[in-house]
A = this chain, B = another copy of it.
Amino acid sequence: MMNRPCIILKDAQLAENIGAAARVMANFGLSDLRLVRPRDGWPQPRAWASASGAHWPLDEATVFESLTDAIADLTLVLATTARPREATLPVLSPREGAAQLSAAAGAGRACGVLFGGERAGLEADDIALCQAIVTAPVDERHHSLNLAQAVAITAYEWRMAAAQGAPAAFGAAPPPAEHGALLGFYEQLESELDAAGFFHPAEKRPSMVRNLRVALGRAGFTDQEVRTLRGVVTALSRGRGRVLEKLAARKAARLTE
């Protein structure tokens, strides 16, 4: 069976919206609901009350402490936001996003769509973990889309795209690594850059990290490529160190002669 995308709600505030999202997921055949730090905790009876009988996405919902945990097993994550702040990621319509999800799912890849909280939406750091931005063509006069309505449009477009069948050509390329592996690489790189004093001034570190992740994330590195790049970082940071260590040791030897 075709993989179906999961729906990830981060910092959702209202249990009613979680329930309404579950209902419309069920309407369009989705069931994997992931909650990252729901404001009022979980489970919330009001979510079931507003799901109108679509209880299974709620019964089986998984709760995560961090976004990185929630997407660790996914190879494609789309960030939904009304006003893209990261112009360096591709910006897709819900329809184009659904086509990508359908192609990925058809190739057996785990994928998901990420939604931010009702008031603040997604943070730039969240978006930097994703492969593309999905934005609905909302009117300038009133661009704030209700959370469950945004899920509705996503789920509807997924269903329309899935009904058309996945394009066959997608299977050829090796699949991107899971986000857990990718994040491991990011953290290794950033830790080495910390050691090398790259991030200065210190207050610019968050945006520098974000920009690096966005740039590297666009490549869709495979598992093998992630391993290679980890080797690259190790070689650059230690290999050169070893060379200099040898030189220094030789110099030290000369000094003690």
**In the complex, chain A residues 131-177 whose Cβ is within 8 Å of any chain B Cβ:** 135-139, 141-146, 148-149, 152-153, 156, 159-160, 163, 165-168, 170-174
With a CB–CB cut-off of 8 A, which chain B residues contact A232? 189, 193, 198, 212
Assess whether A193 is in contact with B235, with CB atoms less than 8 Å apart.
yes
Residue tally, chain A, CB below 8 Å to B? 92
| In the complex, A255 has a CB within 8 A of chain B | yes
| In the complex, A23 has a CB within 8 A of chain B | yes
- Segment touching B, from A39-47, A107-115, A120-128, A214-222: A214-222
Assess whether A248 is in contact with B252, with CB atoms less than 8 Å apart.
yes
A211 to B145, CA, bound (A): 40
Please name the residue on chain B nearest to A145 by beta carbon. B27
| In the complex, A13 has a CB within 8 A of chain B | no
A232 → B minimal CB distance (Å) = 7
With a CB–CB cut-off of 8 A, which chain B residues contact A233? 236
Given known A136-B156, A248-B249, contact A142–B243 (CB-CB < 8 A)? no
A233 to B233, CA, bound (A): 8
| In the complex, A184 has a CB within 8 A of chain B | no
A216 to B228, CA, bound (A): 11
With a CB–CB cut-off of 8 A, which chain B residues contact A243? 195-197, 241
Assess whether B167 is in contact with A96, with CB atoms less than 8 Å apart.
yes
Assess whether A149 is in contact with B239, with CB atoms less than 8 Å apart.
no
With a CB–CB cut-off of 8 A, which chain B residues contact A144? 27, 52-53
A194 to B144, CA, bound (A): 52
With a CB–CB cut-off of 8 A, which chain B residues contact A256? 255-256
Assess whether A141 is in contact with B93, with CB atoms less than 8 Å apart.
no
| In the complex, A229 has a CB within 8 A of chain B | yes
| In the complex, A37 has a CB within 8 A of chain B | no
Q: Mask for A201-241, Cβ within 8 A of B = 1, else 0?
A: 00000001001100111111110010011011101111111
A233 to B168, CA, bound (A): 39
A37 → B minimal CB distance (Å) = 23
**6 pairs, CB–CB < 8 Å, chain A vs chain B:** A87-B170, A212-B228, A212-B232, A218-B218, A240-B240, A255-B255
Q: A137-B159, A198-B239, A212-B232 given. 6 additional CB < 8 A pairs?
A: A93-B165, A149-B149, A152-B153, A215-B221, A215-B228, A240-B240
